[in-house]
């Protein structure tokens, strides 16, 4: 993996010391530690969200039900709105 993009992140001194300790325990740099955390938390969520949307789209395309009439759909929306 070629690292070609840079982000500047500022931490307060206490947070940075914690990051340095954790990075040292793992035998990596602070930057590598932050990249790993981003990959596990932020980027993973994006991938799972993409997979969820794809499954939903596939389910819609594969649906064998007849489409509802507009009046029926409006009633359903109104009933759902009343629950909130």
Confidence band for 24, pLDDT divided at 50, 70 and 90: very high
Section 19-36 average pLDDT: 96
Residues 19 and 30 sit within 8 Å (Cβ to Cβ): yes
Distance, CA of 48 to chain centre: 7
Environment class of residue 67 by beta-carbon count within 10 Å: exposed (0-12), middle (13-18) or buried (19+)?
exposed
Looking at per-residue confidence, does 29 or 82 come out higher?
29
Q: Is the pLDDT of residue 83 over 70?
A: no
Looking at per-residue confidence, does 17 or 44 come out higher?
17
Residues 6+ apart with CB under 8 A from 79: none
């Amino acid at each position: 993996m070629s690292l070609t993009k840079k982000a500047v992140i500022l931490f307060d001194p206490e947070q940075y010391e914690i990051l340095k300790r954790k990075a040292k325990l793992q035998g990596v740099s602070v930057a590598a530690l932050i990249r790993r955390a981003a990959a596990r938390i932020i980027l993973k969520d994006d991938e799972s969200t993409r997979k969820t949307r794809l499954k939903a789209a596939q389910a819609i395309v594969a649906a064998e039900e007849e489409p509802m009439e507009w009046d029926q759909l409006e009633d359903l929306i109104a009933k759902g709105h009343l629950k909130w």
